[in-house]
Amino acid sequence: MDSVVLTSADLWLGAAVTAAVVCGLIGLAIRLVSSEAFRQLKWYLVGAAALTYGTLWAVFGSMYFWDTVYRAVFPEWSRWVLPFFFGFLDGLAALGFWWLSLRVSRWPVAVFILLAGPWSVLGHGIAMLKGLLNVPYLAQATAVSALAFATFEYMLYECVIVGMATSARAALSRLVFAGRRRTSGCS
């Protein structure tokens, strides 16, 4: 993996493709998740975000990209703590996004997804200040191209989180409804 180098052109292409996918998914989310349904997703969103970001960090941050990228940004002792830390932190961020999203008059699910962009810029900006772009894997990437890609990358994750939360809520509702039907039929 040390011979692979990510360039600004790669990141701009990735940003464009990811942005197109995110736009489509936001349109779908607006059609499928009403404001009332979104209001009921609070803890499902928090749980889905914690699980998603914790898993992403475990697989990519602590394992796959640790040697080529993240060991230059984080101390060695944090390698296996980071998935839990970022799972918790991004779960809290999802709670904040949900709260802020309910303050808009239309399409709170779209606002929820879009808020991941500034959140990503903040996190990746801090990582860049700590040397993220100094590793050989990212040495040919500019900060602007990396932030552009990361913005849409995080929005894509939020789309997945909305899908997971919506699915989890629907599955739990079916289980509760099925349980009520069984108990009321036995009486």
Quick one: DSSP state of residue 140?
B
Segments making up each domain of the chain, as ranges: 8-182
What pLDDT score was predicted for residue 1? 46
Determine contact, residues 98/42, Cβ cutoff 8 Å. Answer: yes
181 pLDDT higher than 70: no
97 pLDDT higher than 90: yes
Question: Helix (H, G, I), strand (E, B), or coil: what is residue 65?
Answer: coil
Give the span between the Cα atoms of 110 and 26, in whole angstroms.
Answer: 6
Amino acid at position 180, single letter: R
pLDDT tens per residue across span 15-46: 999 999 999 999 999 999 999 999 999 999 99
pLDDT band at 8 (very low <50, low <70, confident <90, very high): very high
pLDDT band at 105 (very low <50, low <70, confident <90, very high): confident
Give the span between the Cα atoms of 118 and 22, in whole angstroms.
Answer: 15
Give the span between the Cα atoms of 139 and 136, in whole angstroms.
Answer: 5
Give the span between the Cα atoms of 100 and 36, in whole angstroms.
Answer: 15
What pLDDT score was predicted for residue 134? 93
pLDDT tens per residue across span 38-81: 999 999 999 999 999 999 999 999 999 999 999 999 999 999 99
What pLDDT score was predicted for residue 2? 53
Burial degree of 37 (CB within 10 A; 0-12, 13-18, 19+): middle
pLDDT band at 174 (very low <50, low <70, confident <90, very high): confident
pLDDT band at 3 (very low <50, low <70, confident <90, very high): confident
